[in-house]
Amino acid sequence: MGVLRAGSVCWLFHVLVLVCALCQILYVGSVGAQTAQLSVDASPQNAQVIPGNMFGIFFEEINHAGAGGLWAELVSNRGFEAGGPNTPSNIDPWLIIGDESNIIVATDRSSCFAGNPIALRMEVHCETTGTNACPSGGVGIYNPGYWGMNIERRKVYRATMYIKSSESVELTVSLTSSDGLQILASHTITGDKEDFVEWTKVEFDLESIGRNTNSRLQLTTTKSGIIWFDQVSLMPSDTFMGHGFRKDLASMLANLKPRFLKFPGGNYVMGNYLVNAFRWSETVGPWEERPGHFNDAWAYWTDDGLGFFEFLQLAEDLGACPVWVVNDGASLNEEVPTATIAAFVKDVVNGIEFARGDPQTAWGSVRAAMGHPEPFQLYYVSIGNQECSKYYYKDNYMKFYSAIKASYPDITIISSCDRSAVSPVNPADLYDVHVYTSSGDMFSRSRMFDNTARSGPKAIVSEYAVTGNDAGRGTLIAALAEAAFLIGLERNSDVVEMASCAPLFVNDNDRRWNPDAIVFNSWQHYGCPNYWMLHFFKDSSGAALHPSTIQLSNYDQLVTSAITWNNSQDGNTYLKIKVVNFGSKAVNLNISVTGLETDIQKFGSIKTVLTSGWLRDENSFQQPDKVVPAASPITNAGEQMGVVLDSYSLTSFDLLLGSIQKLHSVSGSTLHSSL
C-alpha cells in the first residue's frame, strides 16, 4: 500500500471538510425547503362568532402588584397599621431622622378612626436654638415608599395627613433624595396650640423642582413637644383616568384591550386564614377609614387603597366587564360549615348591591357617596378560588348560587368545580379552569377542549401560565406555548367563554412568583414576551372564527387560527391568520383563502412576528425590547400567497379586505400601532 505524503494528507483533509460542509448545506436546505399548506375557509356561513368577552386580564394582589404598583399611593404603611393592633409596634418602613437622644417614636391607639385605631406618636426632645438645639435640618420621620419613590421634575404630588399636637406646630414636609440631601419639594405646616388640639386633616400640593427615582417623604421639625400622625398619604396628581392608578402600568393594560377584569385573586381572596381574607366591605368608603389587612398569602401588608370600588372603577376605565371573585367562607387552612355560611352569603349579596344597587339602597348609597351614583356593570361572580375539593364547598356553593340568583337572576355564576361536577343539583353558568404547566405540555394543550361536549356550561380559563425551568422570568418559549394554547381556546370558543393569564404584575423587588406578564419598579416597566404575545389576541373577542387546516408531514409543531376583525381606528376589516411554529425548523407556508366576499388588498396588509435568537431569551430593564413583535408590510398579499415561518415564532398575517377608504403609507410607526 502506498504512503500518503503530508501535502496529500492536507489536501484530502480539505476535501473531506468541503464534502461535510456541502452535506450540511444540503441538509439545512432540505429542512428549510419543507412546505406546509394552510387552507382557510373565510366564507361567512361557515364562521362562528368568538364570545365578546373572550380575552381579558386577571389581577391578584401578589408580587406587590397593587400596593406599590398599579395603585399609585407612594407611602408604604400610611396608617401605621402594618405592625398590628398591639402597641408599641413595628412601623416599618418608616424610620427616624435623628437619634434616640432627641426623638422617640412609637405607635399608640389614639387615632380618630375606629376601624384603624393605630397612630404614630413622635416625641421631640431638642429645640430650635440653645444648648439643646436640634441637628441641622431638624429631626423627624421619613418613608421611602415601596423601594424608593419616583419623584419627577415639575410633577405635582398631593400630600394628605392627619395631625394632632399638644403644642403649637412647625412641621416641614419634604420630598428628598434617599439620603435627605437633595430637596425636591417642601412645604411648612404651622399652627397654634389650639389649631391641632384635636385631630386635623391637612392637605397640600408639592411640586418637585427635580427628579429622583429613589426619593422619600420626610416630616421634620426643630420644635420640642409631642405630635401625632395618622394616614399620611402622597399621591401623584396625574393618574390613569384620574382615578388613582399608576399611569404607565394601567396604560399597558389598556393597550391589551381586555374585555374583562377578574379580581382580586387568587389566594389573596382566601388568605391563609380567614382573618386575613379580602373582605370587600372593609375596602370601601373613605380611604382613611379602611383598616387594611395583612396579605398572609403573599406575606405583606396592604392598606386597601386598592379596594372593591377601585377594582370596579378600573374595569370601567378599561372598558372591561368586572368579574368578582368572592370569599365563600374558605381560606387555605379553614372552612366555614354550611350551617353557619349565611353571613358570608349575605355579605356577597350586599357586595352586588354596592356595585349595582340604586343610590337609595343601603350599599348603593355608599357607592354613590364615593362619587359613582351610576351602577357598575357587574354581571359575573366567581364563587371562591378553585376550592371544589374542600369538604363544604358544594353545599356552600349552592347557598351562594340560590341567594344571588334570587336577587340578581342576570348574574353569571362561576363554579370552582370542573365540568364533571356541574349538574342540575349543582348548577353553574361557567366553570373555572386553571392551567399551570411546562411549555411542552402547554403547547400540547392547544387540543385540550377539542373533545369537550358541545352542550352544557362553558369554561372560563381564568388562570394559565407556563411554569418550570424553561419559563424563567418570562421566556420566548413560554410565550409561544401559551400562544398555541390560546389559539386552541379560540378554535374551541364554542365551549370556552373567557381566558386570562396569571400573574399579571410583579414588582422586581418582591418576586413571589415567576414568570409574570409585566415587570416594574418605582420608575420603570417592561412587558415580558407573554405580554407581547397577548397583543396578537386583543382583536379576537367578538371576531368571526373561520375553519382552517394545515398539512405538513412529520412535523406537528404548527398551530393556527383565522379570524376576521374590524379595526375601530380606521374602520377597515382584516382577515387575521395566526400561526405558532413551536419547532426548530423554518417552514415555507402556502396559504390558500377561499370563501371571501371581498378581495384581499395588495397594499395595507401587515405581517407581525414574535421571535428571538434563543428560546430562553427574556426582556429586562436593560433590554426591554429584546423580545417584542416586529411588523412589516406584506408585499404579496392575496388569496394565494407563500410566506416563511421562522422557527420558534408566533406570526400573524393581517390581510386588508375590501376597499381602502383612506390609504395610509405603511411606516414603522403605523405598523407598530397595530399592536
Least confident piece of the model among 26-30, 106-110, 131-135, 353-357: 26-30
Phi, psi of 403 (to 5 degrees): -70, -40
Q: What pLDDT score does 33 carry?
A: 47
Q: What pLDDT score does 11 carry?
A: 39
Would you place residue 669 in the very low, low, confident or very high pLDDT band (cuts 50, 70, 90)?
very low
Cβ-in-10-Å burial (0-12, 13-18, 19+) of 23 comes to: exposed
Which stretches of 110-196 are assigned E, i.e. beta strand? 119-124, 139-143, 149-151, 156-165, 169-177, 183-191
- Tell me, rounded to whole angstroms, the distance of Cα 514 from its chain centroid: 13
- Is the pLDDT at 16 greater than 60? The verdict is no
pTM metric for this prediction: 0.92
Would you place residue 21 in the very low, low, confident or very high pLDDT band (cuts 50, 70, 90)?
very low
Residue 443 CA: distances (Å) to CA of 37, 98, 456, 583: 21, 58, 26, 11
Q: Which cell goes with 186? A: 417642601
Are the C-beta atoms of 580 and 559 separated by less than 8 Å?
Answer: yes
Q: Which cell goes with 378? A: 357587574
pLDDT tens digits, 346-392: 999 999 999 999 999 999 999 999 999 999 999 999 999 999 999 99
Would you place residue 8 in the very low, low, confident or very high pLDDT band (cuts 50, 70, 90)?
very low
